[in-house]
Structures are given as structure tokens and as C-alpha cells.
């Protein structure tokens, strides 16, 4: 048999799988705190993909466990993703080290206790313990929030690299209440105060009934890797007393942190 024309080389594996992975991530990205259960047509609309593509990829995601299908034919995020997400070093090691001290702080105060890290220009909440009768908050575990409004956000922004601070301050800042700091001058002053006293105060910046006091958590190299806060009803406790409790917990968590994954 006469040999046919030479075949072009196969593209690298990443090139063959990249678009498929990107589409699968688009589907997963369609889920939000307000969209926890979606139909195929919902997924198609929010992911911006054809229904036929979504149908095929959703079947694979269900088979792997990234998605689960309910009895009404609606899809939600599967436990397999939670299992994988819980292995993130910044979440797992930090949370395990911090949890005993967060629980102690919650027991002593009966208030909301929060643990957060910075991801880019946002806060990500790693843990939250709600106190009995505590003030309602807008945050949730795994949720994101602006760095400029919350106590933990102000701490993390105060100790962030200068280019991150400038990037945040160059953007419009969302106003949640009449007391939200929205100008670069106001936020710079709050960050300077945070660094000078070793804790941040967010006074009715997110809701008009809440006061948050937060302190930095340091790794073994002295770098700020997280922040812990108390969120209380405004006017019910001394800011200085709250700061003492939060800073004590932050120092204890810092001492308990495992070595960084990089082995530094």
C-alpha cells in the first residue's frame, strides 16, 4: 500500500484538554451563593455555552463527583469538590491550627468570630463561628468580601504588598453604609492606624449595627498570612477590650501555625 501523506503531529496534551477544562470551569463558575441549584438550561445561560456542550460536560462532572443531580433534575456542587478544596494548604493547615483558639474566643465572648485570608484583592473567609444572639453578618465560610470594609480586610490590606494596596485604592470602593470608607485618603489613614496599633477597627462600615475588631496572624517567618476578628453589636463592648482579646488569640494562632508548605 502506498503510504498516505504525513500526518501533522498531535498537539500537546494541554492544548487538547485546555478548552474542555475551561468549559468545565465555566460550568462550575455558574454556581454562586445565590445560584446553588441550577437546571441544564440555567447552566447553559450562565456559563455562556450551548446546551449540548453543557449536557455532555455535566455528565462527566457528575460521574467524577464535582456535581450532583437532585431528584427534580437540578444540579448542585458535589461533595468531591469540597473534599478537594479542603486540601488547600492555606485553608486546611490554618483552620486546623486556629480552630481551638477561635472556639475559645467564641466561648468567652459569645460573639461572631471570623478567620480570613487575602486572595488577590479580596478577603476569603476560612472559618466563622456564630455566637448566640450575636449581630447578623453578611459573611460566610468560603465567601469573598472587599478588603476595605471589614476588620479582617483592613488588617490584610494594611500588611499586603504595596502594589496590592495601590491596586485596591485605584479602584472605586463600594459603599455599604453611610460610614463606609470610600476615599483613598480615608482608607490610607485607617491602614496606617492598623499598622501603628496592631489591630483594625471597622465601625459600622458593612452594616449599621456591627463593629468589627481584627488582628493579624503571622507565620513562622513573621509574614501576615491571615486575620482573626470579633464582630459585635455596635456600642455593646469596649473596642480596647475587644482588641486585647483578638490580639491574644492572633498571637496564639501564630505560634500554633505549621511550617509553610514551601518549607521556608
* Structural domains of the chain sorted by starting position, each given as residue range(s) with its CATH number in brackets: 13-84 (1.10.10.10), 88-256 (3.30.450.40)
Query: What pLDDT score does 86 carry?
Result: 64
Q: Which residues of the chain have pLDDT under 70?
A: 1-18, 83, 86-92, 133-138, 259-264
Query: What pLDDT score does 92 carry?
Result: 56
CA-nearest of 236, 215, 34 to 116 is 215
**Cα separation, 33 vs 61, whole angstroms:** 20
Would you give the DSSP letter of residue 39? Answer: -
User: In this structure, are residues 210 and 231 in contact, taking their beta carbons and an 8 Å threshold?
Assistant: yes
Query: What pLDDT score does 104 carry?
Result: 93
**Cα separation, 148 vs 153, whole angstroms:** 6
Query: What pLDDT score does 16 carry?
Result: 37
Map residue 124 onto helix, strand or coil: strand
Amino acid at each position: 500500500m502506498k503510504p498516505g501523506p504525513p500526518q501533522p503531529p498531535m498537539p500537546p496534551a494541554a492544548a487538547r484538554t485546555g478548552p474542555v477544562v475551561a468549559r468545565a470551569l465555566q460550568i462550575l463558575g455558574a454556581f454562586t451563593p445565590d445560584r446553588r441549584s441550577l437546571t441544564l438550561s440555567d447552566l447553559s445561560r450562565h456559563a455562556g455555552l450551548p446546551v449540548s456542550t453543557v449536557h455532555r460536560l455535566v455528565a462527566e462532572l457528575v460521574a467524577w463527583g464535582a456535581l450532583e443531580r437532585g431528584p427534580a433534575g437540578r444540579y448542585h456542587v458535589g461533595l468531591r469538590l469540597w473534599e478537594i478544596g479542603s486540601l488547600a494548604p492555606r485553608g486546611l493547615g490554618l483552620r486546623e491550627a486556629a480552630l481551638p483558639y477561635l472556639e475559645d474566643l467564641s466561648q468567652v465572648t459569645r460573639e461572631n468570630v471570623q478567620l480570613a485570608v487575602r486572595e488577590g484583592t479580596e478577603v476569603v473567609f476560612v472559618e466563622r463561628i456564630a455566637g448566640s444572639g450575636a449581630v447578623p453578618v453578611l459573611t460566610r465560610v468560603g465567601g469573598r468580601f472587599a478588603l476595605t470594609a471589614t476588620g479582617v480586610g483592613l488588617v490584610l490590606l494594611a500588611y499586603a504588598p504595596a502594589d496590592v494596596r495601590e491596586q485596591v485604592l485605584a479602584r472605586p470602593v463600594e459603599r455599604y453604609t453611610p460610614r463606609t470608607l470610600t476615599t483613598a485618603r480615608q482608607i490610607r489613614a485607617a491602614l496606617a492606624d492598623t499598622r501603628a496599633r496592631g489591630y483594625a477597627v471597622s465601625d459600622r462600615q458593612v452594616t449599621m449595627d456591627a463593629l468589627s475588631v481584627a488582628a493579624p496572624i503571622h507565620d513562622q517567618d513573621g509574614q501576615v498570612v491571615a486575620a482573626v476578628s470579633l464582630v459585635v453589636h455596635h456600642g455593646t463592648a469596649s473596642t480596647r477590650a475587644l482588641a486585647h482579646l483578638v490580639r491574644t488569640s492572633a498571637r496564639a494562632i501564630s505560634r500554633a501555625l505549621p511550617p509553610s508548605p514551601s518549607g521556608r
